[in-house]
Amino acid sequence: MRSPRFWIGLLISAIFLYLAFRGQDFAEIQLALRQANYWYVIPAVALYFVGVYLRAFRWAWVLRGIVPLGTPALFSVVVIGYMANNLLPLRAGELVRSYVLSTRTGVRKTSILATIAVERLFDGLTMLLFILVASIFIGLTDQLEVVTLLAGGIFGVLILILIFLTTRPARSLLISVLLPRLPTMIRERAERMIESIFTGLSVLRRRNDLVVVTGVSIIAWLFEASMYLVIAIGFGLEVGIAAILLVTATANLATLIPSSPGYVGPFEAGVLLALVGAIGIQREVALSFAIVVHAALYLPITIWGLIYWWRESLSWREIHRLTTDEEHT
């Protein structure tokens, strides 16, 4: 039986889809879809996968203090994680990535999840940078300003938490204050978990690596933004680089909202927030653009991830157990 959180996610997706498509002329959406040049999707997807490969390269730098791994080996893990996020609820792809890499290397899943948290932090900060750059050339609506402030607050708190957890006083405090309060049977496991988190966040103490991770994050997301730009050209949308940076940022920040697998609903709402609200693109055209971009982001990497999954003979039963445990925590 599914967790209540699963059904809440579906409900949230349904609400966002209703708000996005409410009162729309579906004939106009179909017309915009028919008039698009889909040959542009091919180079767009290629650009997207370059960005994914760069994320694997970035992850290799984040993991450097824990386990040395090459980018090709991590690329397959990243693709499997994206596939899982598209098919499973509650952003289970992060758990799947930790499971796959832990199975390969023997590194504790908690340490790997900590490195993924660092990645997500840099992703969020890059999206905020995109909005900041776009705002120089495009006036932000009140809604976009609220979204930016909320996202900035969330990632600001995350920065403080992660920086705190990288310090030895924090580690000592957790071990001396938290552990004695725990039942004896789980105390040893909790101590190992604290040590694993401390290890996973080690990149935040390596300044030179942070410079590389920051630069690669920006470049990787610029490749994904290029995907949006190429598909926009296929739709005949006359939008500038600033508009593309804005729609890339809002669409991806919207996926932070809990929803169904694949972020259906919030993603489309994020695209509309930028293209319709700030850029002034016709709503039906913006919706058709969002549908195609979402499909291009969803289908190729999901298929590729399933191929990797099959090739590595990974266990769906174990993933079901992991996600079930997560849903009940």
Residue ranges of the chain with pLDDT lower than 50? 1, 327-329
Which pLDDT score, from 0 to 100, does residue 304 have? 96
pTM of the model: 0.91
Helix 93-105 vs helix 71-87: crossing angle, to nearest 10? 150
Which pLDDT score, from 0 to 100, does residue 322 have? 63
Which pLDDT score, from 0 to 100, does residue 2 have? 63
Dihedral of CA 66/68/71/73: which sign? negative
Where do the domains of the chain lie? 4-16+23-166+201-327
Residue labelled with tokens 């098919």? 87
3-state secondary structure of 141: coil
Which two tokens mark 39? Answer: 């040959």
Which pLDDT score, from 0 to 100, does residue 328 have? 46
Which pLDDT score, from 0 to 100, does residue 38 have? 96
Cα separations in angstroms, 323 against 96, 104, 317: 9, 19, 10
Say if CB 97 and CB 107 are below 8 A apart.
no
Say if CB 247 and CB 228 are below 8 A apart.
yes
Which pLDDT score, from 0 to 100, does residue 166 have? 82
Residues 129 and 121: their CA atoms lie apart, in Å, by: 12
Cα separations in angstroms, 298 against 44, 86, 256: 13, 7, 16
